[in-house]
Amino acid sequence: MRNLLITMRFCGASYHGFQVQKNATTITQVFQDAVEEVLGKRYDIKGCSRTDAGVHANRYCISMKVDDACTVPCQGLVRGLNAHLPGDVVVLDCCEVEEDFHARYNCLGKRYVYKFHNAAVRDPFLKARVYHSQSGIILDAEAMNTAARHFLGSHDFSAFCAAGGSVEDKVRTIYAAQVYREGDIVTFSVTGNGFLYNMVRIMAGTLLAVGQHRLSSDEIPNIIAGMDRSRAGLTLPPDGLYLDDVFYSPDQLPRQL
């Protein structure tokens, strides 16, 4: 049995998330379709994360065990899969890993980014790829960055978890969090050992309120401590959310909180 770690990238605008769903096209479906075309068998796959409908990935990892009879080399598999995948999904790399490696359970941390388009007029070429702030207010990225730093460390993030999540332990550790502006694009980047249901989108909604001066950056610690979802910001749409990186080695994680 060969265990393969496959790294991919995708635009999630046309998909209903990663997991297989009835009557909806997902990343898993189109990936397994491509695998079946190349290898003649529909292998089971393990994804590094569950992504919601419309969420994108700059780097997403899949582990897939194939029969020993499958002798296609890794780079040959990359070329073959890309020949059968739709244009908004691409395989970047493939390598062999230990038999017990699991793309999700061996993951030590992830980095997400959320992108705001802060301009008076929306950009049609960025549709479904950024969140367009339509208030006409120039976001205060410096205040948002100050607020984001309050997320650092280990906290109970109940205030940043949407209803419907099934996880009881809501303590997560955030290793890095920052907000920066590049022209009309304001980016929130956050790295942690794990994230709750809609956690990043709620963080982004809270930071949006700070950037619009509807909320003070100093209020973030109290919101975290209060563990009350109603005190945090809106759950922003998935358009601007990207799984940016996945970490499997401690050396890849930020060293300082």
Same domain, 154 and 27: no
* Domain membership of residue 80 as a residue range: 2-97
The whole-number pLDDT of residue 68 equals: 83
End of a domain among 97, 127, 159?
Answer: 97
We report the CATH number of the domain holding residue 191 as 3.30.70.660
Q: What are the pLDDT digits (tens) for 129-181?
A: 999 987 678 999 999 999 999 999 999 999 999 887 678 899 999 999 999 99
Beta strands in the chain (DSSP E): 2-10, 46-47, 56-66, 89-97, 109-117, 131-132, 153-156, 171-182, 185-192, 241-247
Query: Is residue 103 in a domain?
Result: no
For residues 81 and 256, give the distance between their C-alpha atoms in angstroms, rounded to a whole number.
39
Same domain? For 52 and 163 the reply is no
Q: Is residue 220 part of a domain?
A: yes
Model confidence over 88-121: pLDDT tens digits?
999 999 999 999 999 999 999 999 999 999 998 9
Same domain membership, residue 128 and residue 231 = yes
Instruction: Let me know whether 166 and 83 are in one domain.
Output: no
User: How far is the CA of 139 from the CAs of 199, 209, 214, 223, in angstroms?
Assistant: 21, 9, 11, 21
Are 66 and 149 found together in one domain?
no
Distance CA 98, CA 208 (A): 42
Please give the backbone phi and psi of residue 245, each rounded to the nearest 5 degrees, phi first: -160, 160
- Examine residue 17 and state whether it is found in any structural domain, yes or no: yes
Query: Would you say residue 58 lies in a domain?
Result: yes
- Whether residues 131 and 62 share a domain: the answer is no
Note the pTM of the prediction, 2 decimals.
Answer: 0.94
* Cα 179 from Cα 25, distance rounded (Å): 33
Lowest mean pLDDT among 29-33, 39-43, 134-138, 176-180: 134-138
Residues with a known catalytic role: 52
Q: Residue 21: is its pLDDT beyond 90?
A: no
* Residue of 231, 208, 236, 52 lying closest to 158 (CA atoms): 231
Q: Are residues 79 and 132 in the same domain?
A: no
Check whether residue 72 and residue 136 sit in a common domain. no
Would you say residue 257 lies in a domain? no
